[in-house]
Amino acid sequence: MANEIIGREREIEILKTCTESNKAEFIAVYGRRRIGKTFLVKQFYGDCFDFYTSGIYQGTRRDQLALFNKQLNKYATSVYPVPNTWFEAFDQLEHYISNLNKEKVILFFDELPWMDVPRSKFLQALESFWNMFASTRSNLKLIVCGSATTWMMSKLVGNKGGLYNRLTCSIKLEAFTLQETESYLKHAGMRWTRQQIVDCYMVTGGTPYYLSMLRKDKSVYQNIDDLFFGVNAPLRTEYTFLFRSLFNDSSNYRNVVNLLAKRGQGMTRSEIRDALKMADGGLLTEILHNLCSCDFVRRYSGFGKKERDVMYQLCDLYILFYLRFVAGASQNDEHAWSNMIDNPARRAWSGYAFEQVCFTHVKQLKQALGISGILSNVCSWRSRSDGSKAQIDMVIDRRDQVINLCEMKYSLTPYEIKKDYYQHLLERLELFRSETKTRKALMLTIVASSGIKQNAYSGSIPKVITLDDLFQ
């Protein structure tokens, strides 16, 4: 089991514990499309299932039942007719399982949400199968996967009907960390520097499927050119399908995402509503909730702000890159990314993308600060002063009466702190103290991709975090 799986130690341990338990297990694995859910399950079990089937994208009820029947007949010694309903399909599955004499019976349903075609009564049949049959068999392990995170969350994880509290385990699979990305690339034969790995991460977001497309005989920039700008570039068309496969009303979701892509620091719900001229109802709330569940959007509060001031910020690195440089761009330059090295737009994007990398590695940041065990709240801050545009992208408000005010700096060489910038940092620190009225100690913290250059002001920064810290 677990052969050739990079990272995923926690998830592997969960699957191992559930598989070896002496009770029936109903395991849901969900997460963003292309994140590696199917790969994890298949690799862990060595593709040795007693029954495996998958939903069909935009398939009809008849299509779904026909594939289910085809798969069942592959495993069974009997030949079952194509069922007319999902209740019949699960009756056949029960009959097949009842005739198995095995220590463990492993069932795997992939892309489960696609099976739930409107008016098909799939979910009711699944409820009946689990409650009346599967849950009573201590050797049975049912694993289900789904990229439609909102369906998985509402219909399974948060089910209020017949499957309420029936899941024995849920695993939300997330993107690789920088450390896992580095391990994956080394395993694939790519001996890139950590700076190059971060450059790759800021485009792919640590999404395993995207990483699997990289070629070891090409540089980072050449790979990005091939994936996004070359002839038949595979990730140029990924964006549209990504939304269509997850959301029924994908156009409304894309409208919100496209808007947030233009507002780097994020927007409040009311600002999004007004900008898109949407009705003040539940639709926008549902869209924002679903985008957050899929890890496309980050929901965060400003320091000392109330619930109504919650901000929504686009944080999916693939989407950020696509909307900034690929959507609507000319397809004439197959080497567009390699030719943009000194482009100001690319430099601005790099700084913002690096900030998002830091937000996805807060655990590593806290470890580098030596505060892993200290309760803390991570937020941001924006000045209320008229005419002031002062803001702090990351504020770590600690229980031990210290607040880290973090600045993120992306550069290919050590960042130089000059006199005017250092003075700017001090002024912003005092503005933060004045507006927030905090009595906690304030600690300037710089997260610099290449460290900082030693000079008269570098020693005045209490804490500097580098790429090596983020790779822990």
Assigned token pair, 238: 């990924």
Kindly give, in sequence order, each residue whose CB lies less than 8 Å from that of residue 76, ignoring residues fewer than 6 positions away: 96
Per the CB < 8 A criterion, the answer to whether 108 and 41 are in contact is yes
Q: Which domains does the chain have, with CATH numbers?
A: 9-172 (3.40.50.300), 178-236+331-345 (no CATH), 239-325 (1.10.10.10), 361-470 (3.40.1350)
Q: Where are the beta strands (DSSP E) in 315-401?
A: 376-382, 391-398
**CA angle centred on 194, ends 192 and 196, rounded to 5°:** 60
Strand 391-398 relative to strand 376-382: parallel, antiparallel, unpaired? antiparallel
- Our measurement of the distance from residue 206's CA atom to the centroid of its chain's CA atoms, rounded to an integer in Å, reads 9
Do residues 461 and 421 lie in contact, with contact meaning Cβ atoms separated by under 8 Å? no
More confident residue, 246 or 236: 236
Q: In which residue are the tokens 């050590």 written?
A: 414
What is the tens place of the pLDDT at every residue in 401-429?
999 999 999 999 999 999 999 999 999 99
Least confident of 30-39, 51-60, 241-250, 429-438: 241-250
The Cα 25–Cα 130 span in angstroms is: 10
Region 299-323 average pLDDT:
86
Task: Residue 130: name the closest of 83, 88, 162, 85 by CA.
Answer: 162
Q: Sorting pLDDT into bands at 50, 70 and 90, what band is 387?
A: low
pLDDT at residue 164 in the model: 63
Among the ranges given (24-33, 204-213, 236-245), the one the predictor scored with the smallest mean pLDDT: 236-245
Residue with tokens 């920064």: 461
Q: How confident is the model at residue 88 (pLDDT cuts 50, 70, 90)?
A: very high
- The kind and range of the H/E element at 142 are strand 140-146
CB 30 within 8 A of CB 146: yes
What pLDDT is attached to residue 385?
A: 78
Where residue 198 falls (left for φ over 0; alpha for ψ -120 to 50; beta otherwise) is alpha
Query: What is the per-residue pLDDT for 384?
Result: 80
Q: Give the span between the Cα atoms of 233 and 329, in whole angstroms.
A: 13
As given in the structure block, the two tokens for residue 48 are 């040795």
> In this predicted structure, which of 98-102, 120-124, 365-369, 381-385 has the lowest mean pLDDT?
381-385
Residues forming a β-bridge with 52: 108
Residue 386: per-residue pLDDT: 64
- Enter the DSSP assignment of 102: -
CA 460 to chain centre: 36
Q: How confident is the model at residue 374 (pLDDT cuts 50, 70, 90)?
A: very high
What length is written for the chain? 472
**Tokens of residue 167, six digits:** 């899941």
Q: Is the pLDDT of residue 1 over 50?
A: no
Q: Please, which pLDDT band fits residue 301 given cuts at 50, 70 and 90?
A: confident
Give CA–CA dist 379/240, Å, rounded: 31
pLDDT band at 332 (very low <50, low <70, confident <90, very high): confident
The number of C-alpha atoms within 13 Å of 53 and in the hemisphere containing its C-beta is 23
Q: Determine what percent of the chain is predicted with pLDDT higher than 70.
A: 97
Q: What is the mean pLDDT of the chain?
A: 91
- Would you tell me how many other CB atoms lie within 10 Å of the CB of residue 363? 12
Q: What is the distance, to the nearest Å, from the Cα of residue 101 to the centroid of all Cα atoms in its chain? A: 40
**What pLDDT was estimated at residue 2?**
46
Backbone angles phi, psi at 321, to 5 degrees: -65, -45
Q: Which residues contact 415 (CB under 8 A, 6 or more apart)?
A: 409, 446, 448, 450, 451, 452, 453
